[in-house]
Amino acid sequence: MKKIIVAIDGLKFSRSAAEYAALVTRETNGHLVGVFLEDFTYHSFSMYSAIPDQGLYDDIISKSEEEDKKARAQAITDFQEICRLAKIEYSVHREENFARKQLLHESIYADLLVIDKTETMSNNEEEVPSDFMRELLINVECPIMVVPRHFEEFERVVLLYDGEPSSVFAIKMFSSVFQYLHKPVEVLSVKSSEENLHLPDNRLMKEFMKRHYPKATYTVLHGEPEFEIVEHLKNKHQDALIVLGAYRRNIVSRWFRSSMADMLMRELKSPLFIAHK
């Protein structure tokens, strides 16, 4: 069985993240752990809003904290109901700790982490990806599935490949998690206009893919990767799960830069599977 964990902010419950996590757990015959991030520095209310001209009122703070407690309890109830409907095995982890620290520690012992791409773990509205997400993506210890705010079951998989080890590693990690995937798979690559339309390391890559996804199709485009990939996916594959390699590591492939993952998160409504060494 695979161990899937889903990060949940109990004050801004993402039903989508829970539903995607339940779907993946069912597809992989795994066990799902709901990691409820109860950071003791994070509240749904602003401390400043609880300070009238006359000073701080304890009853205002107490009432707000009670409402937060109820919201977090309801999030757990909603998560459990999603798991029951999906008929999967699950458990709940909750601990008052710094959210990023807790989640990174949990990721050491997981096969996959699922999280909403809009997560901020704060009251602030931030551009996707938030500072919280960037730090998580840099340091996470397992593959991560970044999902949109609204759930839609993916019907196909697109593997982004540029011939670099990091992109092949991501495909290996994906095939390890989704061992029995029964969905169409496409390998997508982009080359400069001066190059031919063969895959990088064509023979070796197809030999590798034949053992993992023998029915995969291959698409090689000419142009700038940042533009061509987004346009291709927007036009043809809004229902796809996108697999890509390194995110802000010391060694990154030549076009799976941090900007690629950031751009896909901002421009597409598709879930992303991101893995780095």
What's the pLDDT score for residue 170?
96
Mean pLDDT by 10 residues, the chain (277 residues): 96 97 96 92 66 57 86 97 98 90 96 97 88 92 97 96 93 94 94 90 97 96 91 86 74 52 92 91
Three-state DSSP state, 127: coil
* Sequential DSSP letters for 230-276: HHHHHHH-TTEEEEE---S-SS--SS--HHHHHHHHHH--S-EEE--
Q: What's the pLDDT at 258?
A: 52
pTM: 0.91
Alpha carbon distance 8, 121 (integer Å): 10
What pLDDT, on the 0 to 100 scale, is given for residue 50?
Answer: 52
Pairing between strand 272-274 and 112-116?
A: unpaired
Query: Phi/psi at 159 (nearest 5 deg)?
Result: -100, 115
